[in-house]
Amino acid sequence: MPNRIINTSGKVRNLILKLQRNEIPDAQEYREVLLCHDRNAVSLLHEAAREASVRRFGNGIHIRGLVEITNICRNDCFYCGIRRSNGRVTRYRLTRSEILGCCRRGYASGFRTFVLQGGELPDSADRDIAGLCSAIRSEFPDCAVALSLGERSEEGYRMFREAGATRYLLRHETRDPVHYSRLHPPGMSLSNRLHCLDMLKDMGYMTGTGIMVGSPYQSIGNIVDDILYMARFRPEMIGIGPFIPHRDTPFAGARRAKAYSVAGGVEDACHVPLPEWDAGEMTLKLISIFRLMFPDAFIPATTALATFYPDGHERGILAGANVVMPNLSPPSVRDDYSLYDGKAAYGAESAEGLDELRIRLEDIGYRILLSEA
């Protein structure tokens, strides 16, 4: 085996060099690095990404306050705990004054970017959302408003933009239409998702996209396609986290699944179960690859990563992430925004836990940047 190890680590080195020189690796080169299990080679990848991040951002980690404004959703994504068909969720929608209250508390702690995330409300909510964006912008003119509210109409996105929202997060989840259709019900389509992303970019939003890693039926080939898509799309923000099953969804037992039998060959059409294909490690590799591809991007160490690993923030940052998004939602609704089982929402994952986060990041040589949009 030593030869193989030398080979794979050579391949990782080559990919790092290519990305550092702004050259464009091909699908096979990405694939080999995603499949590489050699610890030393993977460490090299993380180190190179960390260096790229520090070169661009120093040791400062950007902090965004996340307000989960509603868990009401018109969609029915198979992986998501707040999908419409889940009758076990207590639904809530925060009022404008509750949301402004969250922002006020966040502002007092030094937050200068508010991310309003929620399920997909009906189109009729667009006006309220726009009103909310204006209200936040007028009370906190030095703050940025980012939205993560799913697929909306062109008019909706435009209204929010005019009301002062400047950033939008919308993961594409997978670039493969067949894989997309295995994760979403028939009414949803990859083409609409991609169209939304194009509209957002055209309207001048700072746009974020990304994927879940280890979602059911996902293959290495899918992830390579996601990378190639993102290389073309050039998102300014990139959200990547491990898929974590939710007990009340059709994918409740996904982690235990052996292999999905789908036509098209083993490697290209199966969900290789953990731990051979560890969603946490794959997430960290991808963070590093994206950091090398996009040295200027905002890449969070996501809540899902912090749920997957107790030290997920630290691991994400050491792999090249530069953002953490603590939860500013009222504690009374946090458990109802349950996208997946065990979702972290307290401690270092929350606004109350900012001191804990600060100390933990200091331990690995980083500091949190507050008072910056």
Binding site for ligand 5AD (CB under 6 A): 79-80, 171, 173, 212, 241, 243-244, 246, 304, 339-340
Under DSSP, is residue 65 helix (H, G, I), strand (E, B) or coil?
A: strand
Hey, which residues does 368 pair with through a beta bridge?
Answer: 61
Q: Which is nearer to ligand 5AD, 135 or 323 (by Cβ)?
A: 323
Please answer whether residues 217 and 266 qualify as being in contact, where contact means their C-beta atoms are separated by less than 8 angstroms: no
Strand runs (DSSP E) across 257-296, as ranges?
Answer: none
Q: Which is nearer to ligand 5AD, 25 or 312 (by Cβ)?
A: 312
Q: Which is nearer to ligand 5AD, 52 or 73 (by Cβ)?
A: 73
In whole angstroms, how close is the CB of 273 to ligand 5AD at the nearest point? 16
State the Cα–Cα distance between residues 319 and 106, nearest whole angstrom: 27
In whole angstroms, how close is the CB of 78 to ligand 5AD at the nearest point? 9
In whole angstroms, how close is the CB of 241 to ligand 5AD at the nearest point? 5
State the Cα–Cα distance between residues 258 and 121, nearest whole angstrom: 36
Hey, which residues does 298 pair with through a beta bridge?
Answer: 237
In whole angstroms, how close is the CB of 60 to ligand 5AD at the nearest point? 25
Distances (CA, A) of 131 to 27, 144, 286: 44, 15, 37
Residue 208 DSSP label: E
In whole angstroms, how close is the CB of 138 to ligand 5AD at the nearest point? 27
Q: Whose structure tokens read 């458990």?
A: 335
In whole angstroms, how close is the CB of 303 to ligand 5AD at the nearest point? 8
**Helices and strands, number each (H, E), in the chain:** 14, 9
In whole angstroms, how close is the CB of 240 to ligand 5AD at the nearest point? 9
Q: Which is nearer to ligand 5AD, 81 or 156 (by Cβ)?
A: 81
Residue 350 DSSP label: B
What angle, 0 to 180 degrees and rounded to 10, lies between the N-to-C axes of helices 154-162 and 126-139?
Answer: 20
**In sequence order, what are the residues at sequence separation of 6 or more whose Cβ sits closer than 8 angstroms to the Cβ of residue 197?**
170, 172, 207, 209, 233
State the Cα–Cα distance between residues 367 and 361, nearest whole angstrom: 6
Q: Which is nearer to ligand 5AD, 30 or 340 (by Cβ)?
A: 340
Q: Which is nearer to ligand 5AD, 47 or 341 (by Cβ)?
A: 341
In whole angstroms, how close is the CB of 83 to ligand 5AD at the nearest point? 9
Count of all residues that appear for the chain in the document: 373
Please answer whether residues 117 and 168 qualify as being in contact, where contact means their C-beta atoms are separated by less than 8 angstroms: no
Q: Which is nearer to ligand 5AD, 138 or 346 (by Cβ)?
A: 346
Q: Which is nearer to ligand 5AD, 173 or 314 (by Cβ)?
A: 173
Minimal CB distance to ligand 5AD: which residue? 340
